[in-house]
Amino acid sequence: MTAGARLRLPVNEKDHMRGPKNAPIVIVEYGDYQCPHCARAFPIVEQLQKSLGDNLLFVYRHFPIAESHPDAPNAARAAEASGRQGRFWEMHSLLFENQSSLDSDSLVGYAESLDLDMKRWLLDMDSDAIEDKVEEDFKSGVRSGANGTPTFFVNGSRYDGDWSFEPFLEAVSSEIPSR
């Protein structure tokens, strides 16, 4: 972990989380659905979740870098709009699995494939509340020292190490208290 670089916005009820809230390891990822590095990290994070089980709480926050990835902000809104119908993680997976197709028509198609209430989803996509959530995630990343994607925080400290599976697993496993 990096000394000094700390997560400024604590994990809270607005976050999208997987795993037990009392897990000894909390990984927060600031990511961008159009970022090729985030797409590479996606299966690694899933592998960590399987390997660590109840020892891991994973949190995803949006950090769309619109200058480099013009479809990323809409993709983040699509995930949030899907989350309003309890399908955030399904959309999250679809976005990374179809990263080369994040245009508006594709996003609508993904939402339809999840059998969402499309009228509601389209309204949510354009809502101020969704825009505010994506912006809040982004600003919290900036305040925390995220300067690219993916940026990981492990138990509140920025992780600047190798995030390929084995080194990342080894680094975070050291956070599990011995019994």
User: Residues near 155 by Cβ (< 8 Å), separated by ≥ 6?
Assistant: 1, 25, 26, 175
pTM comes to 0.95
Per-residue DSSP letters for 32-76? -TT-HHHHHHHHHHHHHHHHHGGGEEEEEEE---TTT-TTHHHHH
User: Residues near 161 by Cβ (< 8 Å), separated by ≥ 6?
Assistant: 167, 168, 171
Mean pLDDT of the region 19-33: 97
Tokens of 141: 């990343």
The domains located in the chain, with CATH, are: 21-173 (3.40.30.10)
**What sign does the CA torsion over 33, 38, 41, 45 have?**
negative
Task: Using pLDDT thresholds of 50, 70 and 90, give the confidence band for residue 5.
Answer: confident
pLDDT, one tens digit per residue, over 35-68 is 999 999 999 999 999 999 999 999 999 999 999 9
The candidate with the shortest Cα–Cα distance to 44, out of 29, 22, 66, 62, is: 29
Per-residue pLDDT at 176? 86
pLDDT, one tens digit per residue, over 102-158 is 999 999 999 999 999 999 999 999 999 999 999 999 999 999 999 999 999 999 999
- Secondary structure (3-state) at 118: helix
In the chain the first and final C-alpha atoms are separated, in Å, by 23
DSSP assignment, residue 87? Answer: -
User: Residues near 106 by Cβ (< 8 Å), separated by ≥ 6?
Assistant: 98
Per-residue pLDDT at 175? 84
